[in-house]
């Protein structure tokens, strides 16, 4: 029984990450009389960090114990992108980043996802590059700081906000570069395989 439950742990963690999306949205829908904006920021940041940890954890468990499934392979990247894109839209709504940032990042995710799916249909795989990993790391840091949007220990709120905005803009630039990197690598595969 426990083995069966544990074998599905990666999928359940991915589902929890998906559930985190409406939780973050609902937090900001509460009237200010129930939750102050500071309290909303704390709650939303906590949920987002925990959801991001599940992304690492489900991948670690799946690799460590060879727990792969078709459902997990489909849902994991979808959950990641839904979480990031949803929170980006929330941050834009809160007027903490320029809409162009969200448009670029979300547009890139759609384009690269479509490219990966098309490459998979012709039995080709485009692996995540170091550039893509840096993009994701900076993106998550920027989102966390812009969700939190307040004083952190001895660091004043204005510095947290500035660092968050700079980080998310760097991530946006890397987003564009990494998209062209994916396009370049996929075109080379197509040329080498002579795929029409």
For the chain, 196 residues long, give each residue's pLDDT as a single digit of tens: 545 545 567 788 888 888 999 999 999 999 988 999 999 999 999 999 999 998 888 777 777 777 667 766 777 888 888 999 999 999 999 999 999 999 999 999 898 888 888 877 777 777 777 888 899 899 999 999 999 999 888 889 999 999 999 999 999 999 999 989 888 888 887 777 665 5
- Yes or no: say if 41 and 94 are a contact pair by the CB < 8 Å rule: no
Q: For residue 155, what is the DSSP state?
A: B
The CA distance from 123 to 22, in Å, is 35
pTM: predicted TM-score of the whole model, two decimal places: 0.87
């Amino acid at each position: 029984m426990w083995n069966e439950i544990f074998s599905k742990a990666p999928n359940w963690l991915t589902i929890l990450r998906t559930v985190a999306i409406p939780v973050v949205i609902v937090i900001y829908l509460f009237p200010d009389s129930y939750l102050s904006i500071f309290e909303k920021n704390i709650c939303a940041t906590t949920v987002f960090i925990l959801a991001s940890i599940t992304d690492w954890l489900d991948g670690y468990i799946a690799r460590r114990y060879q727990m792969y499934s078709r459902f997990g392979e489909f849902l994991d990247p979808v959950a990641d992108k839904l979480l990031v894109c949803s929170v980006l839209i929330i941050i834009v709504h809160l007027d903490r980043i320029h809409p162009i940032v969200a448009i670029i990042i979300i547009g890139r995710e759609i384009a690269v996802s479509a490219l990966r799916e098309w490459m998979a249909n012709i039995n080709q795989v485009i692996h995540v590059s170091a550039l893509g990993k840096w993009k994701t790391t900076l993106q998550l840091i920027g989102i966390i700081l812009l969700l939190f949007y307040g004083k952190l220990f001895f660091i004043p709120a204005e510095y947290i906000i500035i660092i968050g905005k700079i980080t998310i803009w760097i991530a946006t630039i890397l987003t564009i570069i990494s998209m062209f990197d994916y396009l370049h690598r996929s075109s080379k595969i197509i040329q080498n395989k002579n795929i029409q």
